[in-house]
Amino acid sequence: MKIVSLNAWGGQVWDTLAPWIGAVQADVLCLQEVTRAPVPSPDWLRCVDPYRDLSQRADLFGDVSRLLPDHQSFFAPATRGTLTDAKDRAVASEHGLGLWVRRGLAVTHMAQGFIHGAFRADGWGAEPVPRTMQVAGIVNPDRGTRICVGHFHGLRDPDGKGDTPARARQTDRAMDLFQRVWSGDGPAILAGDFNLLPDSAAFPRFRESGLHDLITRHGISDTRTALYTKSQRFADYMLVSDDLLTARFDVPAAPVVSDHRALILDI
């Protein structure tokens, strides 16, 4: 089984992201920064407000789902706002997380909720924006095996990635949600763009719950691609239970499908 996590950056590098999605052959694909079109939309929209100016796929969730017809798809919206098309017309758009699970696998449990804030229906607004999380209990009927896979996108703080009370609360909420599906028995994976540094107080909390960080374990010091020009290179993490510590893990620098690298675990 292959589990892949990526901050998809709203599909801004769609020309390389699209073929990669098929080529990577993920059994479970976890994407952060996913857009969804609640109304008919053009392929691209622009998000412009006092806090950001970016172009993104109007319906990345639909785009990826069409590329993965043999997968079950789940979307977790964090915000809904009004974006603009190429003719400056207003179009509604949602932003959140996407999870795709190969159809032959049974999704027996699903937990989804907010680890920071609540659904924001009137635009993205100031940072930190609301953050959601998805956790799936998955069974392989052919093998009789089960696994828990969760992911989230940690809150962004303009002051940096250091520990804050809001991030401490986020960690507690993430573990509470994760443990609704994972009792501590059997293999488990928690991944995503955590927006944390490796020395964050969150990681001892995760370890106490039985989850270990593969980024520091493998000595990886860069989870960003050449499209990200800032010097701070830590953002994305994959945590696993004890029984997955020896699984094959990769954080490839190429192909460049986002300003983040993908996290790939082969079990």
Instruction: Say whether pLDDT at 167 is over 80.
Output: yes
**For residues 48 and 3, which has the higher predicted lDDT (pLDDT)?**
3
pLDDT-derived band at 141, boundaries 50, 70, 90: very high
State the pTM of this model: 0.97
Which phi and psi angles does 233 have, rounded to 5°?
-105, 0
Instruction: Give the model's pLDDT for residue 76.
Output: 98
**Which two tokens mark 151?**
């992911």
Q: Looking at the 3D structure of the chain, how many domains does it have?
A: 1
Q: What is the CATH number of the domain that holds 30?
A: 3.60.10.10
Residues of the domain holding 72: 2-266
Cα dist from 194 to 47, 91, 171, 237, 260, whole Å: 23, 29, 10, 7, 12
pLDDT exceeding 70 applies to what percent of the chain? Answer: 100
Q: Return the pLDDT at 134.
A: 98
What is the tens place of the pLDDT at every residue in 89-132?
999 999 999 999 999 999 999 999 999 999 999 888 888 899 99
Mean pLDDT rounded to a whole number for the chain = 95
Residue scoring higher pLDDT (56 or 128) = 56
Q: What tokens does 167 get?
A: 């991030």
Q: How high is the pLDDT of residue 127? A: 81
In order, the DSSP letters of 26-43 are: -SEEEEEEEEE-SS---S
Residue 27's region, left for phi above 0, alpha for psi from -120 to 50, else beta, is alpha
